[in-house]
Chains A and B, each alone.
Chain A
């Protein structure tokens, strides 16, 4: 039972200092953002399969609308969903309790981080309503398009004309969001280093805590140049500097370098926390120690370092020196080795395990399968510049990154939610609805994303609203593929309502979680009540065992809580 006194709405959702409440605030805000991003995807996907159709709930999609929809879809999903969910939400819920402490090192800073995050969300939403409409330049914000007609050549524009534009607001939103995530990241890092329970040495920390922290460090290391780039872009738009203006000696390619110096590490920032979540779930549900804890850690660190040296593989077509292209190709292909190693370690954990196919386990296995077989594998092909020059800017790339992002961000988050829900809410999610949600998502995600590979290989462009003048794209079976992708996407989006209903309903009415440790897991969050009291533990744990000591021969039960004596 909750031991602390019940606080009012404003307290819980706005002023709380408790890391669990703040995690929840982030989560709700992100659910809100995802519903917008998801709605946009529905609209432009309908438009792609049925051009000229009045899309229900939206209307006719003009070319300008289309550009705005894909841009903001990409931005919301990458910046607010993926980074927010996996750094801020996962870090807030999991780090303090899994290392056996009461809260973050700086609880007030944590609260302020959330407020800044909220501000960034407000700025982002406001950008849709600017006099000239939402931003439609692609989520990668390449200049000169993203400077638009605000640059040097139109000096008659007033400052207000330049400032109240989607360009300015989106850039500000991104800058604020990064500030928020950086403050959060510093907080997580200090918490992890300075607040661990007695006995919890660094190598006794659960893998997910490691992964979130490494992701954070990588984020902090790579984001500076992008913030600098964003700042310069803001200046180009608002005060007429010429950093990206070739006419005055600036260089539009500069942005691509600064953007992808962050952008590529970002995909690992997004990948690592889910890998950590999967490690927890797979080990608990195979009743076996995680295979090669130190091995996984070493590979992760190697991959993190390598990931800062591959960014130019996004620019193979933008015109980089072919010698440099070769080097970046080679690094890109090398970087898949550590990840292959990590996935193999997970498979070795499953090997001959006493597998329990619980719901979180299904999401976890689904994520591993899709990510490895279709996401990572196709990335290898794109890493080779010879192939990429053909596939770039086709929907092959769109399929590739959806097969990498969807399994990690979406499947990973759902795995985590189905795994930890009862711990943090004290109530259980409905299992039947959960299973339905899993299977529908699994099937229709493939139905949506797989045809995009085929379409891309056949030459379907990315980011083109009206492709009908290209006759080869109108030939069978391509229209059919587009329709399969769209209808699957619609069902996929609708299936998420099952989850939303289940989530809200279970939070209020779900079956009470009677056990502290329903999965018979070792890590510390399972050794306190569900939900945990304010301050997480009544008696602070002292750690004696590693996080994955399942089936120890000297114990009669098949698990050994970390704080067992």
Chain B
């Protein structure tokens, strides 16, 4: 073996993990894009939307909850800035807590509505409601797991902290940004 180290001069300015997450977000965006356009088209074809028989959705609690989630986006951003300076701050833990609050409140609402007797099979509206909100919830959960993974990585003193936190952060921003769109379409229609 003469020289087994690769000379890596040809790197794009974006690090591998970040690039990978950007690609994943594009796929995710198209995935939700498909669902959302299906929803919009379905709603456009109905005389009354949501159908009169459906219980009203809890608009104001959800709105407050949305503010919590948006705020967690801001704290994540603060965290990223601190990592860039080389002094990771506690904003990460705050983000995780805010994320959990959102997740629990939203999950509680989701089940409560289920208990009111709105079942998936009752109407198209209910089908969409559970699917879209449920899928978003699933993504929040993944985001939270990633944030916790990041926290552990930071505690272990991992060397690649900036790239990993940027990658996780981008995913979190995606999850946060998706919510107002869903809220607007489903709760406020």
Residues of A within 8 A of B (CB): 101-102, 105-106, 152, 155, 182, 185-187, 189-190, 193-201, 220-229, 231-232, 235, 239-243, 248-251, 254, 258, 261, 535, 538-540, 542
Question: Cβ of A187: which chain B residues have Cβ within 8 Å of it?
Answer: 20
B157 within 8 A of A: no
Are A228 and B34 in contact, with the CB atoms below 8 A?
Answer: yes
The answer to whether B31 and A249 touch across the interface, beta carbons within 8 angstroms, is no
CB-based nearest B residue for A204: B10
Distance in angstroms from A282 CB to nearest chain B CB is 27
A112 to chain B, nearest CB (A): 13
Q: B120-162, CB under 8 A of A: which get 1 and which 0?
A: 1101101110110001000000000000000000000000000
* From A196, A197, A225, A241, contact of B127 by CB (8 A): A241
| Alpha-carbon distance A437/B9, docked complex (angstroms) | 44
Complex: A228 Cα to B19 Cα, angstroms: 23
Beyond A193-B14, A240-B121, 14 extra complex contacts between A and B, CB < 8 Å:
A155-B121, A186-B23, A190-B19, A194-B15, A199-B9, A221-B30, A224-B28, A225-B30, A249-B123, A251-B45, A538-B3, A540-B4, A540-B5, A542-B7
| Given A102-B6, A194-B16, A224-B28: A152 and B121 interface contact (C-beta under 8 Å) | yes
Bound-state Cα–Cα, A338 to B34, Å: 28
Question: Are A225 and B33 neighbours in the complex by a CB distance under 8 Å?
Answer: yes
Interface membership of chain B positions 94-133, coded 1 if the CB is closer than 8 angstroms to chain A and 0 otherwise: 0000000000000000000000000111011011101100
Taking CB atoms, residues of chain A closer than 8 Å to B131 are 231-232, 235, 241
Interface assignment of B11: CB less than 8 Å from any CB of chain A: yes
Within the assembled complex, what's the spacing in Å between the Cα atoms of A201 and B28? 30
Residues of chain A with a CB closer than 8 A to B7's CB: 197-198, 540, 542
Contact of B42 with A198 in the complex, beta carbons under 8 Å: no
Closest 3 CB pairs of A and B: A224-B30, A225-B34, A241-B127
Q: B10 touching A196 by the CB < 8 A rule?
A: yes
User: Can you give 17 A-B contacts (C-beta < 8 A)?
Assistant: A105-B16, A106-B20, A182-B24, A189-B19, A190-B16, A190-B20, A194-B19, A198-B9, A220-B27, A221-B26, A221-B27, A231-B135, A232-B38, A241-B130, A243-B127, A250-B127, A540-B7
CA distance A241 to B37 in the complex (A): 17
Query: Is the beta-carbon distance between B27 and A182 smaller than 8 angstroms?
Result: yes
From residue A529, how far is it (CB to closest CB) to chain B in Å? 13
Q: Number of contact residues on B: which range applies?
A: 35 or more
Whether B31 pairs with A242 at a CB distance below 8 angstroms is no
A243/B30 in contact, CB under 8 A? no
Q: Is B178 an interface residue (CB 8 A)?
A: no
Q: Given A198-B8, A249-B46, are A186 and B20 also a contact pair (CB < 8 Å)?
A: yes
Bound form: Cα–Cα A222–B29 in Å: 11
Q: Are A258 and B38 in contact (CB under 8 A)?
A: yes
B34 touches A194 (CB 8 A): no
Given A225-B34, A241-B127, A243-B38, A198-B4 contact (CB < 8 Å): no
Cα A539 to Cα B37 in complex, Å, equals 52
Residues of B within 8 A of A220 (CB): 23, 26-27, 30
Closest to A220 in B: B27
Question: Which of A195, A239, A258 makes the CB contact (< 8 A) with B8?
Answer: A195
Q: Smallest CB–CB gap between A156 and chain B, Å?
A: 13
Report the minimum CB–CB distance from B147 to chain A (whole Å): 20
**Are the CB atoms of A194 and B11 closer together than 8 Å?**
yes
List the B side residues contacting A201 at CB < 8 Å.
10
Interface of B toward A, CB cutoff 8 Å? 1-12, 14-16, 19-20, 23-24, 26-35, 37-38, 41-42, 45-46, 119-121, 123-124, 126-128, 130-131, 135
Q: Do B19 and A539 touch (CB < 8 A)?
A: no
Cα–Cα distance between A198 and B6 once the two chains are bound (Å)? 9
Are A254 and B19 in contact (CB-based, < 8 A)? no
A241 to B12, CA, bound (A): 45
Q: Which residues from B are CB-within-8-Å of A221? A: 26-27, 30
A177 to chain B, nearest CB (A): 14
Which residues of chain B have C-beta atoms less than 8 A from A226's C-beta? 34
Establish whether residues A254 and B38, one from each chain, have CB atoms under 8 Å apart when the complex forms: yes
Question: B128 CB to closest chain A CB, in angstroms?
Answer: 8
> Which residue, of B10, B41, B123, B130, has the highest number of chain A Cβ atoms within 10 A?
B10
Pick the most buried of B5, B24, B31, B128: most chain A CB atoms within 10 A of its CB: B31
B134 CB to nearest A CB, Å:
10
Known: A228-B34, A249-B42, A540-B6. A186 touches B24 (CB 8 A): yes
For the complex, give the distance between the alpha carbons of A540 and B9 in Å. 12
Nearest-neighbour CB distance to chain A for B120, whole angstroms, equals 5
Cβ-closest chain A residue relative to B12 = A193
Q: How far is the CB of B137 from chain A (nearest CB, A)?
A: 14
Q: Pick from A195, A242, A258, A540 the residue with the most CB of B within 10 Å.
A: A242
State whether A198 touches B10 (Cβ < 8 A).
yes
Give the chain B neighbours of A200 by CB distance below 8 A: 10
Partner of B120, one of A182, A186, A241, A539: A241
Q: What residue of chain A has the Cβ atom nearest to residue B30's Cβ?
A: A224
Contacts A243-B127, A249-B124, A538-B4; A223 near B30 (Cβ below 8 A): yes
Distance between Cα atoms of A189 and B123 in the complex (Å): 42
User: Counting chain B CB atoms within 10 Å of each CB, which of A155, A228, A243 scores highest?
Assistant: A228
Which residue from chain A places its CB closest to the CB of B134 in the assembled complex? A235
Residue of B nearest to A235 (CB): B131
Q: Could you tell me the distance between the alpha carbons of A185 and B26 in the complex, rounded to whole angstroms?
A: 13
B30 contacts across to A, CB distance below 8 A = 220-225
- Name which residue of chain A comes closest to B6, CB basis: A540
Task: State in angstroms the CA–CA spacing of A283 and B157 once bound together.
Answer: 51
Contact call B16/A223, Cβ cutoff below 8 A? no
Most buried by B among A102, A186, A198, A539: A186
Q: Chain A residues near B31 (CB, 8 Å)?
A: 224-225, 227-228
Q: Is the CB of B10 within 8 A of A258?
A: no
Known: A224-B31, A228-B31. A101 touches B121 (CB 8 A): no
A189 touches B124 (CB 8 A): no
Beta-carbon contact of A224 and B8 below 8 Å: no
- Contact, CB under 8 Å: A224 / B27: yes
Complex-state Cα separation, A383 to B79, whole angstroms: 53
Given contacts A198-B9, A540-B3, contact A248 B123 (CB under 8 A): yes
Bound CA–CA A190/B21 (angstroms)? 10
Kindly identify which residue among B5, B24, B41, B46 contacts A254, using a CB–CB cutoff of 8 Å. Answer: B41
Chain A residues with Cβ below 8 Å from B32 are 224, 228
CB atoms of A106 and B27 under 8 A apart: no
Instruction: Give the interface centre of B20, B123, B130 by most chain A CB atoms within 10 Å.
Output: B20
When distances are taken between beta carbons in the complex, the residues of chain B under 8 Å from A195 are 6, 8, 10-11
> Nearest chain B CB to A541's CB is how many angstroms away?
9
